[in-house]
Structure 1
Amino acid sequence: MKKNALPFLEGFLFFCLLLIVACGSETEENPEVDAPQETSVMAMDLKVVVPNGRLRAAPDPQAKVIRQLNKWASLQDLGEVSRHTTQISFGAEKFDEPWLEVQDSTGQSGWIYAREVAPALSGADLQEFRRSKLLRSIFGDAAYLKLETYRENWQQAVSEKAIAETYRLGLSLRDTLVPMLENKSHSYDTGPLPDLFWIDNFIPAYVTQLVAEGTVYYLFNDYKQWLKMARKSPGKQDDRFFSLLARCYPQDSIEYFYPAWELQTWDYGGHHLLGRGITYDILAEIEQLESRTPLFSRALLQLKDQILADLTQPNIHFWEPDTLVKQELDSIIQANWSIFTATDRVALDTRRLQLDSAVVHGIGFNARAGE
């Protein structure tokens, strides 16, 4: 028995030795397991693209330089973006970009100017990378997250209900973003505005335009895009809703400050087109749609409120003669649609009485004839 056990014992010891060697080799091939403080090469998602990159202690060109970075040096994007941008010239070109918080291969973190880096991944879209960073700088993380949610909803919406919810989210998003765009526009009061027309590439169904004599960026709905989406859904009410909104802006179906029932005749004003039947037709369509589906009820009633507010505004000047204006308003009052509240009816009746004593109430007619 003792003589036969010796070879078995020797084989067992040899097997254990092989196992120890194998485990030792695996540890050497995965050094990051034993060195958690070192930054993984896979995490280095940015590269320096200028000859002398500068890692700074704060997002400011005057901040202390922590480290000089060689061209093609690897960096890890820590995800933070400065809420301000800085105008810096590289040669003959002038840029206005935010700052990014990054970490180098030694674990040192700091801030670098966005123009000095690019995605390390081959084939990455450099323009989209820089523009998305600029959007986060302008809008902040919370608003940018809301924007991302809207974009996802836009891509996934296929039913009438989903499209209606996406439309409402878009309006809410616009209310959030426009004041930030206005603040950004005003920050260039001493120089020309940067090109931000590309923003609508990130916000489906919205168009970026300059308003206030070309001094402020604003976002307008593009109802052609909404109508195209609606036509893919199995229902028909969303088609009618967005067709109606497109009718409100007949020139190009893009929302603006002067809808179909008003004619802009100067930078900050114009004339009302009551008397052409446009106002009556749109209100009649609102009545029909609002009674058929609750999906767009809120938006339809808001459109009605906008129409009545424009119609009953003080010191109004109508494009058409008084006979046509009074005729259409009488038709609207007599229709007595269910969309009208008691307050709406009082406002319409009051405006009708005022038309009979127009001069007293600062009301003008027949502007098309120069009156």
Structure 2
Amino acid sequence: MIARLDRYLIRSFLGMFAGLTVLAMALLLLERLIRITELVSGSGSALLSGSLLIANLIPHYLNLALPGAFLISMILTIDRLSRSGEIVALMAAGVSLYRIVRPFMLVALVLAAASLLISGILQPLSRYSYREIVYNLQHQSVLSVFQEQKFVQYNNRIIWTDSVQASSRRLGQTFILETEPDGTRTVLTGRTGLLQEPRSGEWEIILQEGAGAAYRDGDPPEEYDRIEFAELIWPVIPDAGQYRERGNDERELFLSELLSPSSAASGEGIEPAVAASAFHDRTSRAALLLVMPLIAVLLGLNLGRIARSSGVILGILILLGVQKVLEFTLVQANEGIIPPWAGFWPIVLLVALAALALFQRLSEGSLLAGRRRIARQGTDYASALAGKQAT
């Protein structure tokens, strides 16, 4: 059963944590809204498709927002409790910092389990679902590919058209740039164009009165294969067929599948080192959540009456620094330069030992003005409260 003190401390930061999480997710989602708008603009059910795309992005951005929102909300909560004198009173009454941080450690344990659930199951499923929706939109809606006066990338093609008549499927002046796997590039322009569907699910564009060229990077202009035509049929959207099975890369695999990527539906082409690196990356990030309450107390404890912002700024810098180090080691582990476990767990262990050592010094009073001074301040505060109640 959770003690009354634990419930009070959890309530003190829970509202701020929820608000910061929602705010961070909203800011992160803004970067995708333009892309989603372009994808669904030619769809017959734009609202439904856009809602599904946003819903499938939530697990990804939630996992990104959790660490920062958790750390900042704890720092601000500890700072507020310190400035109000509540932590001083608790310590004067014999409540140690270890006891004060206990409810935050319980919350960190729950969030670590939630992070594993999100990154290990929900995020791979939502990523695959997002890609499937994008694939269907691109292959089933011709208007999502041909947008007036916009450069649109579709697979290995970049397409631009001056105008689109939805009823007659007639295009205005049209430009196409296609890059082949061997590096050959083909540029085609036509004064007019016409979209047609010779077979169900297959689309092609008929360019009229146009010209173009085929070349490789580095070829001099005199070696270009020049093309001139009165009419040219160019396949644009092949038959979509059924979308591939899940497991195209390590980000679509569950945690259990990362240990054996060949057990996934289509994960045979994933390198074992890449899969192992992704496994250690996800689990180590969840483990770091368990250390954050100690860091928050170190940065947020303030026995004065003046609010400080340095703790929040330092916490953000620490979080960003650890994030960049983990990203760097992930690249190194993917390339086989270091063993997958060595790129993550030593960092987690170093951060945990440093936070625990500093927290122990703080709890013993060596990082403050001394334990006696803390107790004296707590006694004076309690006496002042008693005096106010007597008057």
- TM-score calculated relative to the size of structure 2: 0.22
Larger proportion of helix: 2
Q: Could you tell me the TM-score, scaled by structure 1's length? A: 0.23
Greater length-normalized contact order (CA 8 Å, ≥ 6 residues apart):
2
